[in-house]
Structure 1
Amino acid sequence: MTAKEKLEVIVRALDMKRGENIQVLEISDLTILADYFVIVNGTSNTHVKTLADEAEFKLSEKGVEPLRTEGYQSASWIILDYGDIVVHVFMKDARSLYQLENLWADGTAVDITSYLTKE
């Protein structure tokens, strides 16, 4: 699967489970950590776990497994590392505290509107 195909699966999964404020940043020109960061927040610890589980499940159905996962114990910030894509699932207050969008502001915002459900 290409990175763009994985991004679509991830964003659709997060949107389907009502993830809030989904953002995708292309960071390939800034770091070797990944090509993309997906950032989303949930409304509770349970919601954060559900979002991470759904993204992981939908990619697993396509034969793609994360290299690493972190944060399931506290569920205030769960990270799914797919090598080229790192998914950050936050509680709203943790997202505000760490402000990844500001930290990686030199990254390029990716237009994901075509992946989102129209309400």
Structure 2
Amino acid sequence: MENKTLETVYRIVEGIDDKLGEDIAVLKLSEISSICDYFIIASATSLRQVKSIADEIEDRMEMLDMKLRNKEGHQTGNWILLDYGDIVVHLFFEEDRGFYNLEKIWKDAEIIDVDNVIKNNI
């Protein structure tokens, strides 16, 4: 199960990167929380780009038969949450990301090297 989850994390990170998302962070929560195994957090410079990244992720996950459990914030685009069960994606308009500061809230989580994820397909 872990390998499939890591492959899914890769596909999401790849989609964010392809749409020029910024400051991509992958937090491994499985050791510290039962909410999910991974948070993927990224920013974009416009509300349109935030929505475009979310749409790209949804398309990729649909191709992998990954069911979206919950989606919030798409209408406004300031903070879009995509819940895939083991993986929760948080996409922020850059000005809003610092306010919520999820990385600080989840500071005990293991940080996965995103550059390694992108270059080596995990």
Query: Which band: TM-score by shorter chain?
Result: over 0.9
8 Å Cα contact 2:28/2:112 also seen in 1? yes
Q: Unpaired segments of 5 or more residues in structure 1?
A: none
Say if 2:41 and 2:90, in contact at 8 Å, map to a contact too: yes
The answer on 1:92 being equivalent to 2:89 is no
Partner of 1:7: 9
Aligned residues: 117
Q: 1:57 aligns with which of 54, 59, 65?
A: 59
* 2:40 pairs with 1:38: yes
Q: Report the Cα distance in structure 2 between the residues aligned to 1:86 and 1:102, rounded to whole angstroms.
A: 17
Spell out, residue by residue over 1:77-110, the C-alpha distance to the aligned partner (whole angstroms, 9 max, x if none).
Answer: 0000001000000011110100000000100001
The normalised TM-score by structure 2 is 0.91
Q: Structure 1: which 4+ aligned runs deviate by more than 6 Å?
A: none
Tell me which amino acid in the other structure corresponds to 1:98.
Y
Find 2:22's aligned residue among 6, 13, 20.
Answer: 20
